[in-house]
Homo-oligomer: A and B are copies of this chain.
């Protein structure tokens, strides 16, 4: 089941840079794992902002919540979630 997730990352100016760098590295690794597992299906960077648009494929809402709450950068993220479903005009088999 697909969800459209927007993540706006806001790092406080006075945050410890090394702590943040470590979190970013963990985030990148975590994302790679989830993408490899087909869960984090798409991730794109919005040009000019520390923001991404992502598509998640999860069994249900609870799974999505666990994944997002578990992201290393979660405490610094404003997250919006939208439930998606297959569009009647889509001709792709893999868009649902």
Interface residues of A (CB under 8 A from B): 1-5, 11-15, 27-28, 31-32, 35-36, 42-49, 52-53, 55, 60-62, 64-65, 68-69, 75-76, 79-92, 95-96
- Given the complex of chains A and B, what is the CA–CA distance between A45 and B11 in angstroms? 25
- Cβ-defined contact, B91 with A47, below 8 A: no
Interface of A is mostly: mixed
Q: Least Cβ distance of A55 to chain B in Å? A: 8
- Cβ-defined contact, B79 with A48, below 8 A: yes
Residue from A3, A13, A49, A75 with most neighbouring chain B CB atoms (10 Å)? A49
- Cβ-defined contact, B91 with A53, below 8 A: no
**Which residues of the other chain, B, contact A95 by a CB distance below 8 angstroms?**
42-44
